[in-house]
Structure 1
Amino acid sequence: MQLSTTWLHQLPLTAIHDVQPVGGGDINAAFSLVSAQTRYFLKVQPDRGGAFFDHEIDGLNRLGAVVTTPKVMASGTINQDGYLLLSWLTTGHGSQAALGQAVATVHQQTAPKFGLDTDYRLGKIPKINTWQADWATFYVQQRLDVLVQLAKSNHHWSAERDDHYQRLRTKILNTPHFHTVKPSLLHGDLWSGNISFTAAGTPVLLDPDVFYGDREMDLAMTTIFGCFDADFYDGYQSVYPFEPGMQSRLPMYQLYYLLAHLNLFGESYGPAVDRILALY
């Protein structure tokens, strides 16, 4: 995507003199933008309007109250394109232990119930966030069932997968832990691409998909694609120790993210989904 001069002049900035495309993932167009000697990170969602970024802004504000995140500078709609203007992050290297402590601090932020004030349906994976008092109900009905139904619609499901899934579903609903969980603020997409460090070494959390749920769901995501080492988990536990039996529950949460990838990227993730389902 190229941004015209006319488009850029509608941003709430003056004296824009350098705009360069940068890597921003597979969802948004992303740019480095310099205005009056200040550098910004600009995300643009073509033809989707500014509401596309409302959920991310809410997440950055919630996380940013307790850890470092990019600062939201402005957002809105230009020519039907949604945009989000963030402070620029000059990156460096930092401690995995400090990162673990930062994530644990996020998880210590609580709510009376599980969910969030609003659903998020503008992305490819819908997030149904209706508040629930019971985590098992929330996780099964508003996370797993949604992705299973989507997999059926996308022709990525089978009778065998469904047999295993129904057994897993019953196990979650009948396991006491899932009915005694305390709601924690979750990043929601905690993989290596969504963490960084400032030049001074401070951990930074990026691109949140927040809601209040079981903190083990975030921790499960850290185990899928690597990057988080033993220092991360030691740092985390120095602030917020794990609950007994967590390792046995992680596959039930890994499944959610693998189902999301199955729906987004296709059957290349089928074997990973099947390995989890085969446990049940």
Structure 2
Amino acid sequence: MTAFAQRVAELVGVGKEHLERLAGGDLSEVLLFRRPDGRCTVAKGGPGVSTEAAMLRLLASIGVPTAPVEGEHQDVLLLERVENDGVFSPKAWASIGEALRQLHEHLGEGFGWPVDYALGSVALDNRETPSWPRFWAERRLIATASVLDRPWRERVERVAAMLDDLLPAKPPAALLHGDLWTGNILVAGGRLAALIDPACYHGHAEVDLAMLTLFDTPGDSFWESYGSLEPGWEVRRSAYQLFPALVHLRLFGASYAGMVDRLLAELGT
């Protein structure tokens, strides 16, 4: 039994035989346990428990399906298990598009978030910045590339220098999921069941769409449900996809070097 499993067992008062490690959980340990009344609870570990709980509660408050928070205890977050079937049918994609549009219509006053966060070992500097291109350049691209080898850093810095001409200065500050791919989208019965594992902040809505299309291929019903995009979205998409690609390069190594190189080349560096 891991130290986290021992902590969860003691916290909820169950024996270790009632704990089951869930698939996934690349960035933190995730366990499932069944309560005596039959309910299933997911336990997640990590230093950002209170921040994630606040994000989940915010999503729920604006009507976006997510995993209900059952409790938070220092380094343990307890969530109600959301049943899902993993079938991304056209109806499910339409439901996802509708919910994402609803999320993005919830606007903030600036770009950023009240507290910093992290994706695994990759810190997210969420300090508010009045210029969206500067936020993306400094808080996301340059900061994420700062620990990479010099050739990577220099290419990313050249991209950052061109963002004032590529990105809108002040797009609507949409509420973003921040880590949107199908692994963080639960579906059941042809509908969205929950968005999970958020890394929220306010920014250009295209950020979520770019990440979703980097790792997945939403169906036509998704785009019809989400609605029209601003002209030039395809050009900006590479700049937005570069950030999650850099995160994956840092977290999971050289297997993502080709992706980063491709995106940098598309951006002319």
Question: What range is the shorter-chain TM-score in?
Answer: 0.7 to 0.9
Report the residue type matching 1:72 in the other structure: V
**How many corresponding residue pairs?**
260
Counterpart Cα distance in 1 of 2:121 and 2:215 = 21
User: For the Cα contact (< 8 Å) 1:97–1:234, is it kept in 2?
Assistant: yes
The 8 Å contact of residues 137 and 173 in structure 1, kept in 2 or not, is answered as yes
The answer to whether the aligner puts 1:149 opposite 2:146 as a matched pair is: yes
Deviations 1:178-229 (A, max 9, x none): 2031100000011110001245734410111100011111000011112422
Tell me the residue number matched to 2:76. Answer: 83
- Is 1:133 paired with 2:124? no
Q: Is the 8 A contact 2:84 2:193 kept in 1?
A: no
- State how far apart, in whole Å, the 2-side matches of 1:268 and 1:200 are: 33
Question: 1:97-116 residue pairs with structure 2 within 5 A?
Answer: 97-116=94-113
Equivalent in 40, 49, 55 of residue 53 of structure 1: 49
Ranges in structure 1 where 5+ consecutive residues have no aligned partner:
none
Identify the residue that residue 186 of structure 2 maps to in structure 1: 196
Inter-partner Cα distance in structure 2 for 1:222 and 1:7 = 32
CA contact (8 A) 1:30 1:43 kept: yes
% same residue: 28
2:96 and 2:191 in contact (8 A); partners too: no
The correspondence of residues 105-254 of structure 1 with structure 2, limited to 5 A, is 105-121=102-118, 123-151=120-148, 155=149, 157-158=150-151, 161-175=152-166, 177-199=167-189, 201-237=191-227, 241-254=228-241
SS at match of 1:84: strand
- Partner secondary structure for residue 48 of structure 2: helix
Partner SS for 1:185: strand
Matched AA of 1:228: P
C-alpha contact 1:198 1:204 (8 A) present in aligned 2 = no
Residue identity matched to 2:20? Q
1:38 Cα deviation after fit: 3.8
- Distance in 1 (CA, whole Å) between partners of 2:15 and 2:144 is 45
1:28 maps to amino acid: S
CA RMSD of aligned residues (A): 2.4
TM-score by length of 1: 0.84
**TM-score, normalised via structure 2 length:** 0.87
SS in 2 for 1:252: helix
> 1:110 is aligned with what amino acid?
L
